[in-house]
C-alpha cells in the first residue's frame, strides 16, 4: 500500500475508533416522561438544557429535610451557576396543609401579571426552616401571616390574608395534586424530583448530581 494511502487508511481507522468510543461511552439514562409545568414557580437560567422539577408539600418533614440539606447544594452548584432551571410544584395531601400551599401560591401570584418566583422561594424556605410538627394543625391564617412577616417585608400581609381566607389558589393546588398523581402511579408522594423528566429514585445529593452531570454531558455542557 502506498505511503499516502496508508496514512489515510490509518487516519480513517483512528477516526472510526474514536467515534465508536464516543458512542459506547455515552451516558445511559432511564426513560423520561413529559412534564408540563408552565406557570409553576421557577428559578435558574430559563434556557438551561437541564430542568429540575420537584413536587413539595409544606407540611412534609422529608421536604423540610430536602430543603435544608439538598436544595442549598443544588442552588450553589447548579442554579446560581446557570446550569439548570429549577421548578417547584406545590401540592397538598397532608391534613390541614391546603392553607399553606394556597398561601405559597398567593405570594407567587401577588401580582398575577408578574408572578414573583423569588418571593415564593423565600417564603417556602422560611416555612420549612420553621415548620412545626407535622401532626399539629399549624397552617392557620395567623401562623402563615406570622411566617410571611418574618420571611420578607416584600410580602403584602393584607393581600395575603385575603388570598388565604378566599382560598384563591385552592383549585390550582388541586390541579397540581391531580397532575402529580397522574405521573406517580396514582399515589402522591413528596418530595419527588424529576430531572428532564427522569425521576430520581434515590433522593440524596450524590444521586441528584450524578444524573445532572450525565444530562449536561449528553447536551455537551458537562
The values of phi and psi at residue 153, to 5°, are -70, -10
Indicate the pLDDT class of residue 119, thresholds 50, 70 and 90. very high
50 strand-pairing partners? 84
6 versus 210: which is more confidently predicted?
A: 210
The C-alpha atoms of residue 20 and residue 32 are separated, in whole angstroms, by 25
Question: Is residue 17 over pLDDT 60?
Answer: no
Cell matching residue 37: 409545568
SS3 call for 147? helix
Residue in 153, 154, 146 with CA at minimum distance from that of residue 110: 154
Q: Tell me the whole-structure pTM to 2 decimals.
A: 0.86
Tell me, what's the pLDDT at 162?
A: 98
The 10s digit of each residue's pLDDT in 208-222 is 999 999 999 988 776
Mean pLDDT, residues 127-138 taken together? 95
Tell me, what's the pLDDT at 221?
A: 75
Edge-to-edge, what's the strand order for the sheet holding 192-195? 42-44, 84-90, 50-56, 192-195, 198-199
Question: Is residue 155 over pLDDT 60?
Answer: yes
Tell me, what's the pLDDT at 26?
A: 54
Tell me, what's the pLDDT at 24?
A: 46
Question: Is residue 25 over pLDDT 60?
Answer: no
Question: Is residue 103 over pLDDT 70?
Answer: yes
The C-alpha atoms of residue 201 and residue 95 are separated, in whole angstroms, by 26
Mean pLDDT, residues 83-87 taken together? 98
Q: Going from the N-terminus, what domains does the chain have, and what CATH number goes with each?
A: 42-218 (3.40.30.10)
Cell matching residue 145: 401571616
Sign of the dihedral defined by the CA atoms of residues 128, 132, 133, 137, in that order: negative
The C-alpha atoms of residue 175 and residue 172 are separated, in whole angstroms, by 5
Amino acid at each position: 500500500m502506498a505511503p499516502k494511502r496508508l496514512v489515510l487508511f490509518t487516519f480513517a481507522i483512528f477516526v472510526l475508533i474514536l467515534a465508536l468510543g464516543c458512542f459506547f461511552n455515552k451516558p445511559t439514562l432511564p426513560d423520561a416522561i413529559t412534564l408540563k409545568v408552565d406557570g409553576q414557580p421557577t428559578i435558574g437560567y430559563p434556557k438551561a438544557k437541564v430542568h429540575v422539577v420537584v413536587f413539595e408539600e409544606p407540611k412534609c418533614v422529608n421536604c423540610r429535610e430536602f430543603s435544608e440539606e439538598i436544595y442549598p447544594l443544588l442552588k450553589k452548584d447548579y442554579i446560581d451557576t446557570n446550569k439548570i432551571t429549577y421548578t417547584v410544584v406545590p401540592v397538598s395531601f397532608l391534613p390541614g396543609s391546603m392553607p399553606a400551599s394556597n398561601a405559597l401560591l398567593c405570594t407567587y401570584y401577588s401580582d398575577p401579571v408578574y408572578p414573583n418566583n423569588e418571593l415564593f422561594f423565600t417564603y417556602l424556605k422560611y416555612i420549612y426552616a420553621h415548620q412545626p410538627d407535622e401532626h399539629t394543625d399549624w397552617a392557620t391564617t395567623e401562623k402563615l401571616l406570622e411566617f410571611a412577616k418574618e420571611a420578607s417585608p416584600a410580602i403584602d400581609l393584607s393581600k395575603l390574608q385575603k388570598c388565604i381566607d378566599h382560598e384563591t389558589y385552592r383549585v390550582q393546588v388541586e390541579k397540581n395534586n391531580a397532575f402529580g398523581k397522574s405521573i406517580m402511579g396514582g399515589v402522591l408522594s413528596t418530595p419527588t424530583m424529576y430531572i428532564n423528566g427522569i425521576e430520581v429514585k434515590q433522593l440524596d445529593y450524590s444521586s441528584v448530581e450524578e444524573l445532572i452531570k450525565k444530562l449536561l454531558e449528553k447536551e455537551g455542557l458537562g
